[in-house]
Chain A
């Protein structure tokens, strides 16, 4: 599965997340998926893959206000900021 370079990215407030998974199918480029990581409350957390478009769909469907959405000025800038987790 090939991914387009990221044109946007998100910050996830992991402490607030309740692991409901609503963001996963809501993401148009399908770059959100559930990880094996859990927050302090024990909820499984989503993680972001390359290819985010910054569309903000995740923000719209997140009941716990966990997402902050950024549009990158230069495509793929996300890769340079974080690298592989």
Chain B
């Protein structure tokens, strides 16, 4: 962690020169990246400081735009904090029930095979209440892309244990840390899905740092491309920070994510073109 975090310690008498950031530079320059992602209607949202979900959203929308699918995409959104992001997403959406998005996406894809179908689900949504739906959708080889935002907690209820909560992780209903004897083991959903014959592409990414975000984007591009090629079910799991649900300072979110969740839910591609990676 950076030593610059003591914000009150810096300011006027600092010898380093502070560059103004309230307006674009007046000299010759090239804009490299804009505030809000592609395909958004507004930049503001009500998710907590330090949340990893908007980072994932940015990559999803940018990927759709970059692949030329902006006018062919349909998103099916589950129930979680990320549901609030639907008001800023400028793609067609269907709001599904908790856990049911893969089924809803299935029906939509069957009637609109020309569309790029993706789901946006949290770990409580997909791996708890909707586990059978995502597994069956994958096993059928439905040509849709399911996207899991995995932070290991029910963020919206205030930090409760989900099926992906790692052993030792403190949640409001595993206050001494998740104990396998009391609470069972976490489900590694990506690994489970990769083993199914119907899946074409399975990858797990993490947005705990810039390189991780860039990798997330690559995996999303590959998943969507797999769908566009008609290869079957594609899946991208994205580990995201939830400092509020983890009861830690926002700045510690990326480190906690990488160290705790990332150690169990290992980042990387698990299946490409229907073939297990390293298998």
Contacts of A68 in B (CB 8 A): 24, 31, 33-35
Q: Shortest CB–CB separation between residue A76 and chain B, in angstroms?
A: 9
Query: By the criterion CB–CB under 8 Å, are A81 and B25 in contact?
Result: yes
Q: In the complex, which range does the number of interface residues on chain B fall in?
A: 35 or more
Contacting B at CB under 8 A, from A24-68, are: 24-26, 28, 30, 32-36, 43-44, 47-50, 52, 54-57, 59-68
Select one of B18, B29, B50, B253 contacting A72, CB under 8 A.
B29
Query: By the criterion CB–CB under 8 Å, are B49 and A9 in contact?
Result: no
Answer whether residue B54 sits at the interface, using C-beta atoms and an 8 A cutoff: yes
Closest to B214 in A: A60
Contacts of A59 in B (CB 8 A): 33
Q: Which of A8, A61, A62 has the most chain B CB atoms closer than 10 A to its own CB?
A: A61
Answer whether residue B8 sits at the interface, using C-beta atoms and an 8 A cutoff: yes
Contacts of B136 in A (CB 8 A): none
Assuming the A-B contacts A36-B7, A60-B213, are A84 and B17 also in contact, with contact meaning beta carbons closer than 8 angstroms in the complex? yes
Assuming the A-B contacts A60-B213, A63-B51, are A69 and B17 also in contact, with contact meaning beta carbons closer than 8 angstroms in the complex? no
Within the assembled complex, what's the spacing in Å between the Cα atoms of A48 and B17? 9
Query: By the criterion CB–CB under 8 Å, are A30 and B2 in contact?
Result: yes
Contacting A at CB under 8 A, from B193-220, are: 207, 209-210, 213-214
Select the stretch in B36-44, B177-185, B231-239 that faces chain A. B36-44
Within the assembled complex, what's the spacing in Å between the Cα atoms of A68 and B36? 8
Select one of B28, B33, B52 contacting A77, CB under 8 A.
B28
Assuming the A-B contacts A10-B21, A78-B25, A79-B17, are A63 and B52 also in contact, with contact meaning beta carbons closer than 8 angstroms in the complex? yes
Contacting A at CB under 8 A, from B218-259, are: 241, 243, 250-251, 253-254
Contacts of B28 in A (CB 8 A): 72-74, 77
Within the assembled complex, what's the spacing in Å between the Cα atoms of A31 and B52? 22
Contacting A at CB under 8 A, from B8-33, are: 8, 10-11, 16-33
Select one of A19, A65, A78 contacting B19, CB under 8 A.
A78
Query: By the criterion CB–CB under 8 Å, are B20 and A34 in contact?
Result: no
Within the assembled complex, what's the spacing in Å between the Cα atoms of A57 and B34? 12
Query: By the criterion CB–CB under 8 Å, are B16 and A77 in contact?
Result: no
Query: By the criterion CB–CB under 8 Å, are B8 and A25 in contact?
Result: no
Within the assembled complex, what's the spacing in Å between the Cα atoms of A38 and B180? 44
Q: Shortest CB–CB separation between residue B151 and chain A, in angstroms?
A: 12
User: 19 new A-B pairs (CB below 8 Å) besides A20-B243, A63-B55, A69-B31?
Assistant: A8-B32, A11-B23, A11-B35, A18-B49, A20-B253, A21-B5, A36-B11, A43-B49, A47-B10, A49-B16, A49-B17, A49-B18, A54-B32, A55-B210, A61-B210, A63-B51, A77-B27, A82-B19, A84-B17
Which 4 residue pairs are nearest across A and B when measured between Cβ atoms? Answer: A34-B7, A18-B49, A57-B210, A82-B20
B-to-A contact residues, CB < 8 Å: 1-2, 4-8, 10-11, 16-37, 40, 43-45, 47-55, 58, 207, 209-210, 213-214, 241, 243, 250-251, 253-254
